[in-house]
Amino acid sequence: MSAWIVDGVRTPRGRGREGGELSSIPPVKLLSDLLSTLRARTGHGSVDDVVIGCAMPTAEQGTCVARMAALLAEIESGGTTVSRFCASGLDAIATAAARVEGRMESQIVAGGVESLSRVPMFSDRGPWSFDPEVAEATGFIHMAVAADLLASRASIPREALDAYAVESHRRAARARDDGAFDRSLTPTAGLAADALIRDGLTMDDLSARPGAFGELLDDDARRRIARRYPDVTVEARHHARSAPGLADGAAALLLADDAALEALGHAPRGRVIAWAHAAVEPTLMLHGNVAATELALARAGLAVSDIDLFEVNESFAAVPLHFAAELGVPLERLNVHGGAIAMGHPLGATGGVLTLTALDALERWGERRAVVSICGGAGVATALILER
C-alpha cells in the first residue's frame, strides 16, 4: 500500500513580525482558507483526518488549531495538532503517511501552520526554556548558540556560512523568477511570492556584519556547553543574514491510498516511500537531521547516491553545510531552489512547505527521489523520502 501525495498547496511566506505581509490573518483562518483551496483543487470529499503541525500550539494557535481550521473549512471529520518543534509539519505528513500505508485510513490532509507575527517563538513559555531546573537538566541553550556551537565544533568558517547564505538567496530569487514554486503557491492576502528574499545579496553585504548572537552565550549556556563539549570554544559566526528569517505561513497536502487515488482520478505528485525520526544530544541539537536521514535511507534500502535532491531546513547556515559534509551530499543537489535563510522559516509549517518545494524541484529538474529533513529543538529530527 502506497501513501500517495495527490496534491498540495502552500501560502507564500510573509515576514513573521508586526506589520508582516500575513500578520493581519489569524493562523486558524490562514489554514482554513488553504484547506478550502486544497479541496477545490483535488475535489476530495470527506477525509479521515486533518493532521497539522504547529510548533507553538498556544494562544491563537491553541485549542487544536487543526480541528478549528477544519471546521471553518467545512471539513467535519478529524483535526489533530502535532508538535515536534520545527519538525512538526514534516512529522504531520509522516504520521499521515504511516496511517495510510498501515491501511488504517484512506485519505488524510496533512501539513502545518505558524504565525510568528501573532504567536512569537517561546509564547508557550514551556519548561525547556523557562523552567530553570528543566533547562539545566536538559542542557538548554538558544538555537542560535547551538548553531555557533555546531559551526565551531565542525570547523565551518564564517566565510563558508556567509557564502552559503548568499547562495541561498541567489537560488531562491532565480527559482521565484523562473516560476519554480508556482504550482504549489496560492496567493494570500495579496502576497504572491515569498517576501523575505533579498535580491542581489553579496558577500560584501555580509562580511561587515559581526556575529550577532554572542549575547545569548551567557554563563548558563557556557556551563552547559562545557559540560558536554569541554574542548570546544564557541565563536559567534552566525548573524541575521545566515540565520532563517522568522515567517508566517501554512501548507496542506492530501495523502491517499491506492483506492482513494483512483476514485479521485488525479495523477499524483509523488509518494512517501520512507520516513524516520531521530533524537540526538539536546544541547548541540541541530545535527539530528543527519541521524534521521540515515535511518530513513536504511529503512528504504537506499544510499545517498540513490537520492537526486535534498531539502534540508536552513535553520542557520551551519546546519545544511554540516549535513552535506557528514553524508557526502554535493551542494549542487542540496536546496536547489534556496531555503529558509532566503525565504523564511514558519516553524510548524516548514515541513509542508519543504515537501512541496521538493516536489516542485523534482518535477522541474526531471528527477525521481528527494529527501526532506528537518532538525528541531532539544535534538529531535524527522526525515522523509519522496518519489515522484
Q: Which residues fall within 8 angstroms of residue 37, CB to CB, at 6 or more apart?
A: 9, 186, 252
CB atoms within 10 A of CB 318: 28
CA angle 309, 313, 314 (to 5 degrees): 110
Q: Catalytic: 375?
A: yes
Q: What length does the chain have?
A: 388
Catalytic residue among 86, 239, 287, 322: 86
Pairing mode of beta strands 309-312, 369-375:
parallel
Catalytic residue among 169, 238, 266, 375: 375
Catalytic residue among 239, 322, 337, 345: 345
| Cα-Cα end-to-end distance for the chain | 16
Nearest to 10 by CA among 89, 100, 65, 82: 89
User: Looking at the annotation, which residues are catalytic?
Assistant: 86, 345, 375
